[in-house]
Structure 1
Amino acid sequence: GLMNTLLQLLGILFPVSTFLLIVFGGLILLARAHEEIEGNE
């Protein structure tokens, strides 16, 4: 039924969104670290 479909969607979207959060969070941290390194020169 509808609940099963929603649960399947959550099962797919949750790990994907978590993965994207980790990737974007890592990119932002790298960008900030890079800016700090360039600012120290």
Structure 2
Amino acid sequence: MNVKNIIKLTKKKIETIIETVKFGLLNPIIPKIGDSGARIKKPI
């Protein structure tokens, strides 16, 4: 039982790390897309 619990915990930790990495990669890109969209919409 202990080994199974440890495996479950490690899997959860790995999943959370992957999620945080994904968000870390996506977050810098999303504002850039928003900025480019705002710039295009703004009349020069």
TM-score for the superposition, normalised by structure 1? 0.71
Separation in 2, partners of 1:17, 1:11: 10
Which consecutive residues of structure 1, in runs of 5 or more, have no partner in the other structure? none
Q: Which runs of 4+ in 1 moved over 3 A?
A: none
Cα separation, 1, equivalents of 2:22 and 2:5 = 25
Q: Could you tell me which runs of 5 or more consecutive residues in structure 2 were left unpaired when the two chains were aligned.
A: none
Provide the TM-score with structure 2 as the length reference.
0.68
SS of the residue 2:30 aligns to: helix
RMSD (Å), alpha carbons: 1.4
How many residues are paired up?
41
Tell me the secondary structure at the aligned position of residue 13 of structure 2. helix
Q: Does 1:19 align with 2:21?
A: yes
Query: Partners in 1 of 2:38 and 2:12 — Cα distance?
Result: 38
More helix by share: 1
Q: Distance in 2 between matches of 1:29 and 1:11?
A: 28
In structure 1, the residue matched to 2:7 is 5
